[in-house]
Amino acid sequence: MADKERQKQKKERKSCFGYPVSIFFIVVNEFCERFSYYGMKAVLVLYFKYFIGWDNDLSTTIYHTFVALCYLTPIMGAIIADSWLGKFKTIVYLSIVYTIGQVIMAISAIHDITDANRDGRPDNMTLHISLSMLGLILIALGTGGIKPCVAAFGGDQFEDHQEKQRSTFFSIFYLSINAGSLLSTLITPILRSQECGIYTKQSCFPLAFGVPAALMVVALIVFVIGHKMYIMESPKGNILLQVIKCIGFAINNRFRHRSKQYPKREHWMDWAEEKYDKLLIAQVKMVVKVLFLYIPLPMFWALFDQQGSRWTIQATTMDGNFGGFVIQPDQMQIVNPILIVIMVPIMDSAIYPLIKLCRINFTPLRRMTVGMVLAALAFVAAALLQLQIDQTMPKFPSTSQTQLKFLNVESTSLPVLVEGQDQFMVPGFNASSEYMTLDKENVTITAGGVNDTAYLKNGNRHTVIMNAAGMRNTLDDLTEKPEQGLNAIRFVNGFETRLNVSVKSDNVHADPLDASVYLFVPHGKVNFTIFNADGRTCYYVMQLGFGSTYTVLIPSTFRFGQTCSESLEAVQDMEPNRVHMAWQVIQYFLLTCGEVVYSVTGLDFSYSQAPSNMKSVLQAGWLLTVAVGNIIVLIVAEAGSLPDQWAEYILFASLLVAVSIIFAIMAYFYTYIDPNEIEAQFKELEPEDKKRKEMEMMTKDNMAYVHYENTDIKQTKI
């Protein structure tokens, strides 16, 4: 009945240029779904860091836990589709789950829903965390569950004689994946960098998650619209479950016959012969042989997937100004899909043929080994870059230290003597050149000839406001770089009356001999308005980079006018990010080259070495290596105690080099096979094998009958 229904669907379906019209809906669905997934994923680690407020390690851990879950659930999706619902219903139902998850993520990022005091920060962060975790779980179930179904469902739409069209479809399908990834990685960081909110304006994470949610709704609607045109295969049972059962029976049977009285068999899978035919056992042997090679592979993915976590966090401490445009930290991930589009044809049409001309036997497994080494080199490059970044970062005090600098609001230089230190001069209307590090909290300070005690806090930075009368105020300074590449600006009032400062919608004030709170402003030209209670104003302009902090002194000689840029003194407390984001292209280039020769080759190798009916099993195994790789990252992020980020990069690079050596040794002893040839041999023997098993069963039945007859005779004699 199912075959008749399929033939009926084939006759009734519409085609365009020789292609089923139904594949249009599938390709559009895949583009929207990949846009949704990669768009949400691009800004996820910054959502954890800036909105939720987690530190780098916890943000990295949760990010990789989510990615690992996304690559564990495809096995579930494949089993549901093949054994229960079929591909179409599985895609629809799990897409609904997926869409709900994306909507929940967008809602979780709306700070106004719990911001009762309207200070720009959620008052009930537990609610936001709970919603985001629920959303991520649903997304992982959805995206992972439909991953093994969509491409296969597209392949089902073609007839046997349409191999060329089917091949073209898979190329277009792969292109739609990369197009969705590329566009979303470009667009969603731009959406995140916007400011939105009902009461206070914050980074627009709701929009950055909302657009992917909307695209997922579109993906679901488009897919359902085409349902009358689809060829829908009925569930036929899952080969993965058969493989697992066969392996389980072989292991169990071998354990039950572990005594020396039982003869050994050539392969441990041969212990399944009592229940399974030799063809299936031979196919499982081929699969197990490849799966054994998969054991070292997760380490590559442990490095590869840190593009979206550690490398994105690294980019937040860099200069993203490219002249005519600005790159957001989470936009740097777009380098990977761009380089893939460039590198794949270069490798296939230039590099590999050139290697072949040099008569080098560059086998698939050797390519994968080179890919691992290139990924390790990418992390060495990341470590070297991190060392350069660290040299430009401020040296903050430890928990047993405090740091101090002095700001002179007088027009003349003043001497300063700190207990246990040499005397120095602070210029008029200026600050001491750098922070002084002290090992105790309370120190005696002589400023302008007046002795006083400063009560400081360990682990903090302070600025002392001073004039000819001595110390007048002690300010608390920032002890970390401003987030999201913003600049922190505060104003110290050396004028005689209270002054107000505004920029955009933010307004602060500074009393005499005191400072305003920090204003956080983006890079570029920023216009501040300074005004008093009488309405007198002047304008102050600053040209800012990324991640700097300034204390702007309004001196006693200040006068209102059209501009006051020349009369104010800006003191730099932290310099802007000096290392340019373009330097990350080196590590992205190395990692992408590694991906091309590792991932593309690995998939091709797995396909070529897999039996005809078990390619999905190896696909599930391949996805499982990605999941395990992400689990490795979260273990290192949580359990690792390395003090410096560059050291962690070197650790990952070293681990991958060690694993690549192990993999190279395993590859050296691997023998390439032709699954079709082996299957053909066993199919020829299959009728004889069935006859042999039937004879064995008949023999067993006869022996049982004879045993029964003998037993009956004995009972009669008694």
Q: How much of the chain exceeds pLDDT 70, in percent?
A: 91
Residue with the larger pLDDT of the pair 561 and 499: 499
Confidence of residue 378 (pLDDT cuts 50, 70, 90): very high
Q: How much of the chain exceeds pLDDT 90, in percent?
A: 41
Among 53-62, 451-460, 479-488, 606-615, which is the least confidently predicted range?
Answer: 606-615
User: Would you state the pLDDT for residue 298?
Assistant: 94
The pLDDT of 220-241, averaged and rounded, is 85
Please state, in angstroms and as integers, the Cα–Cα distance from residue 188 to each residue in 25, 49, 180, 193, 629, following that order: 24, 17, 12, 9, 26
- Whether residue 471 contacts residue 408, with contact meaning beta carbons closer than 8 Å, is answered with no
Confidence of residue 708 (pLDDT cuts 50, 70, 90): very low
Is 184's pLDDT higher than 60?
yes
Is 54's pLDDT higher than 80?
yes
Is 620's pLDDT higher than 80?
no
Give the CA angle between residues 586, 61, 327 to the nearest 5°: 35
Which pTM does this prediction carry? 0.82
User: Would you state the pLDDT for residue 302?
Assistant: 93
Among 13-22, 146-155, 210-219, which is the least confidently predicted range?
Answer: 13-22
List pLDDT tens digits, range 327-377. 889 889 889 888 888 888 888 788 888 988 888 888 889 999 999 999 999
- In a 10 Å sphere around its CB, with 0-12 CB exposed, 13-18 middle and 19+ buried, how is residue 711 labelled? exposed
User: Would you state the pLDDT for residue 604?
Assistant: 76
Residue type, 510: A
Please state, in angstroms and as integers, the Cα–Cα distance from residue 363 to each residue in 29, 233, 314, 368, 667, following that order: 36, 37, 36, 9, 10
Is 15's pLDDT higher than 80?
no
Q: How many CB atoms lie within 10 A of CB 430?
A: 17
- Whether residue 491 contacts residue 501, with contact meaning beta carbons closer than 8 Å, is answered with yes
The pLDDT of 438-457, averaged and rounded, is 86
Euclidean distance between CA atoms 399 and 480, whole angstroms? 14
What is the pairing mode between strands 442-447 and 450-455?
A: antiparallel
List pLDDT tens digits, range 89-133. 999 999 999 999 999 999 999 988 988 888 778 889 999 999 999
